[in-house]
Structure 1
Amino acid sequence: MSYAIVGFGKIGHALARAFARKGIEVSVATTRDPASFASDAAAIGPTIIPQTLAQAVKADVIFLAIRFESHPEVAKALPSWKEKTIIDAMNTFAPPEELDGLPSSAFVAKAFNGARLVKGFNHLGASVLAQDPAVHGGRRAVFLASDDDGAAAEVGALAEDLGFAPVKLGGLSEGGRLVHARGESWGHLIFKDLVKFD
């Protein structure tokens, strides 16, 4: 299984650190030349591989850690996203009418034709997400929502590998609404830093 993070701002850096802690290789990409952020990637660890967007989208599992407004442009990188798993780690404050009344992730799913989309890793601020998820003898929770049970299970397994405790919230229409920030409507679980004890 290959992994990529599209976007290398605060959330992208936090996700990269999670991969680096576990020694799992992940590509990082932006719309810029990889040479422009290669030193940042190297500072996080040797398993963080700077790539072009065209290279990164060849991965099996792709995190979207970009500004919400940029996702349609990234979606043009492939004619079809079939057999790709997209993890939507974005938030938006766009009003519901701009999203056709859909949860933000359901709106994103329309742009990534054929992809299996999972909402996840978006409810924590970057500074918290960047920390080791092993806290107080437990594991920091990450919430996942998807209309594809198989994709949710796959991303749940990845979350476990990264040291987090995945909590599945159901489909995008119910679970997705709990973890999104949209307009003046904030999901009940957004920015909640919860720890699971086994």
Structure 2
Amino acid sequence: MTYSIIGSGNVGSALARQFARSGIAVGVANARGPDSIEALEKEFAGYVTAQSLQDAVRADVVILAIPFAAHEAVARAGAPWTGRIVVDAMNTYGVPPEALRGQPSSLVVASAFGGAHVVKSLNQLPAKLLASDPVEHGGRRVMFLAGDDGRAVGVVAKLVGDLGFAPIALGTLAGVGTLLDKGGALILQNLVKQG
């Protein structure tokens, strides 16, 4: 299984740190090109590889850690998406409500990434907390997931667990997606699962 993170800002870098800490190889790309990711690649040598966007979108699991408005350009760059897994780790702060057309943001993302299995996750914590050790007070920091394809949710849940978090699948994108959107009840919740 190959993984990539699209985006090298606060969230993308925090996720790259967790991959490296867990000994899992990941490619990282952004709109500025691989040269702009050299420092991150050097810091986590052996685990983080700077990639072009064209290479990163070919991974089995592609994690979107970009501003919401950029997701359509990434979708076009990687088409066709049939059968691949896209993790929506984006938030919609600053996105006008009409851009979401009254839907959870992940349904908008799923429509852009036709044929992909979209799973909403890795967006609930501030970047600084996301980058820190997920083990806290004898338990593991919770990471929620939502998705419409059981296999894809299982793949992402395993990844989330391998990164050190406690994965909790909530349901479908339409059913629970708004809980994981801007202002949703589960955003910015630092919950720890014991045991």
Q: TM-score per shorter chain, which class?
A: over 0.9
**Deviation digits for residues 133-172 of structure 1, max 9, x if unmatched?**
0111100000100111111111001111111100111011
User: What aligned pairs does 1:111-150 form with structure 2 within 5 A after superposition?
Assistant: 111-150=112-151
RMSD: 1.0
Relative to structure 2, which stretch is displaced further, 40-49 or 142-151? 40-49
**Deviation digits for residues 94-142 of structure 1, max 9, x if unmatched?**
2433212110000011000100000001010000000010111100000
1:167 aligns with 2:172: no
Residue identity over aligned pairs, in percent, reads 49
Q: Which runs of 4+ in 1 moved over 6 A?
A: none
Provide the rounded CA distance (Å) in 1 between the counterparts of 2:135 and 2:63: 22
Provide the rounded CA distance (Å) in 1 between the counterparts of 2:98 and 2:70: 18
Partner of 1:3: 3
Question: How much has 1:15 moved relative to structure 2?
Answer: 0.3
Provide the rounded CA distance (Å) in 2 between the counterparts of 1:33 and 1:64: 16
TM-score by length of 2: 0.96
Q: Tell me the SS of whatever aligns to 1:169.
A: strand
The answer as to whether partners of 1:64 and 1:89 remain within 8 angstroms in 2 is yes
What is the total number of aligned residue pairs between the two structures? Answer: 194
Provide the rounded CA distance (Å) in 1 between the counterparts of 2:31 and 2:99: 25
Provide the rounded CA distance (Å) in 2 between the counterparts of 1:78 and 1:28: 15
Provide the rounded CA distance (Å) in 2 between the counterparts of 1:144 and 1:113: 20
Partner of 2:51: 51
Partner of 2:157: 156
Question: How much has 1:34 moved relative to structure 2?
Answer: 0.5
Provide the rounded CA distance (Å) in 1 between the counterparts of 2:73 and 2:13: 21
TM-score by length of 1: 0.95
The answer as to whether partners of 1:96 and 1:102 remain within 8 angstroms in 2 is no
Provide the rounded CA distance (Å) in 1 between the counterparts of 2:192 and 2:7: 27
